[in-house]
Amino acid sequence: MTNFVAKAGGKIVGFIQLVRHPESHYPYTGYWLFGLMVRVPYRGMGIGRELSMKVIEKADEEGAPELKLLVNEKNKAAISLYRQLKFEPVSIPGLEEQLDREYSETGSRRVPMKRVLGEGSR
């Protein structure tokens, strides 16, 4: 796991993680962008984009073929950001059933998204 933070005035105002899961962690295998958070007063300033790009660049440097994430379907701002960063909604085998169960229990649905990495992906 690699953590990235954004600071303003010596305070942490944003946070994100790059998580690497082995095949044994099915269905959450491979590289994942996880836990993007930007404090409310600092939203809309490009901090989420900068943090996300750090994760994308690090995963790409490490040779990851793709980067995945989960985002709540109601978080339109995050979905818009991820689409701008070339993430697309995908179906991940084994994960859809888990997400369906989660939705039936909580009424909240997370959407899996993926970005292909490698040469020419930026």
Structure tokens at 49: 């984009």
Q: What is the pTM of this model?
A: 0.89
CA dist., res. 111 & res. 30, Å (int): 17
Dump strand ranges (E) for 25-94.
Answer: 30-38, 66-72, 88-89
Residue 93 — pLDDT band, cuts 50, 70, 90? confident
Q: Where are the domains of the chain?
A: 2-116
Structure tokens at 15: 């946070």
Question: How many helices and strands in the chain, by DSSP H and E?
Answer: 3, 6
- pLDDT at residue 5, rounded to an integer: 98
- Cβ–Cβ < 8 Å for 18, 58: yes
CATH fold of the domain at 2-116: Aminopeptidase (3.40.630)
Residue 14 — pLDDT band, cuts 50, 70, 90? very high
